[in-house]
Structure 1
Amino acid sequence: MDGGRLHRLGKRLIELSSQATGEDSDLALTPGEAAVLEDVIKHPASSISEIHQRTGFVQSHVSVSVSRLKARGLVEAVTDPSDGRRTRVRIADAALQAITRRAARRIDQVLGRTIDDPAQARRATELLEELADLLL
């Protein structure tokens, strides 16, 4: 497999993942907000500056994204007790529970709608499980 085909496969897997984990009632996030939220999940209690450094977004963009995420109840931002000028950001418990529920959704139905042959859809699921075991 060449790099171009791998890239196309990766994009298609992201599309299928979004179909499996998304719902009409889910909040729509901008790509920047999604990246900031992902960083906060991976690095709890990070400062705005630390998020800025890891994501590559300008600090003002990170601050605006955190404010929007906070307004939606997805993150909590508190003043750092050791440095009152610094804000520490972490995922809100309710948001983490919702993300965990979404991530646990099975892909079987999505693959069944994508691949007409039920046996081939099951085989694709098995191959994806095997690939995940090898690469993750």
Structure 2
Amino acid sequence: MDGVRLLRLGKRLTELGREMVTDHASATLSPGEIAVIADVYRHPNTSVQDIRARTGFAQSHVSTSVARLRERGLLDAAPDPADGRRTLLSTSETARRYIRARVARPAEPVIAGAVPDPEQARRVGELLDELAGLLLPPDPAARTGGSDRRR
């Protein structure tokens, strides 16, 4: 596989993943806002500067996204107890419930829409599970008894 084909595959997998986890409510969020809330979900009690460093977005973009997400009640903010000048961000309980519900959905229906042949769709699911096992870091939930379902 060459680099261009790998990039095309990555883009297609991103499209399928986005189709799985978005709906009319999340479709009103920009891709940047989705990236910011995903980062805060993975790294609770984080600062704008930390989000900027992890996402590579400009600080102004992160700050604007954070302000919009806070207005919508998707992010909570609290002063940093170690440095009162900093604000720490976490996803709100509403956002966490929504995210958990969306990511728990099985991938099979989306895969079946992309690969109409049922046997090929089943094989794609198996291959994606295998690739996830090989390419993704271990899932911390698997070590604590949670689900290791990556699809």
What is the TM-score normalised by the length of structure 1?
A: 0.87
Identity of counterpart residues, as a percentage?
Answer: 51
Q: What is the aligned residue count?
A: 136
Q: Per-residue deviation at 1:31? A: 2.5
| 84-93 vs 18-27, which moves further | 18-27
Encode CA deviations 1:59-81: one digit per residue, 9 max, x unaligned: 33322211111111111011223
- Change beyond 3 A, Cα 1:100–1:84: same
Runs (4+) of structure 1 exceeding 6 A deviation are: none
| 103-112 vs 47-56, which moves further | 47-56
Q: Per-residue deviation at 1:38? A: 2.2
One-letter amino acid of the structure 2 residue matched with residue 86 of structure 1: R
Distance 1:35 1:15 in 2: 14
- Change beyond 3 A, Cα 1:122–1:34: same
- Change beyond 3 A, Cα 1:18–1:60: closer
The corresponding residue for 2:13 is 13
Gapped regions of structure 1 (runs ≥ 5): none
The corresponding residue for 2:105 is 105
The corresponding residue for 2:128 is 128
- Change beyond 3 A, Cα 1:134–1:101: same
Q: Per-residue deviation at 1:112? A: 1.6
The corresponding residue for 2:60 is 60
Higher normalized contact order (CA 8 Å, seq sep 6+, divided by chain length): 1
Aligned 1:1-136 pairs, distance under 5 A: 1-136=1-136
| 5-14 vs 81-90, which moves further | 81-90
Q: Per the alignment, in what secondary structure is the counterpart of residue 23 of structure 2?
A: coil
Q: Per-residue deviation at 1:126? A: 1.3
| 79-88 vs 116-125, which moves further | 79-88
- Change beyond 3 A, Cα 1:16–1:91: same
- Change beyond 3 A, Cα 1:69–1:118: same
Distance 1:73 1:100 in 2: 16
What is the TM-score normalised by the length of structure 2?
A: 0.80
Q: Per the alignment, in what secondary structure is the counterpart of residue 46 of structure 1?
A: coil
Distance 1:111 1:55 in 2: 28
The corresponding residue for 2:145 is none
Gapped regions of structure 2 (runs ≥ 5): 137-151
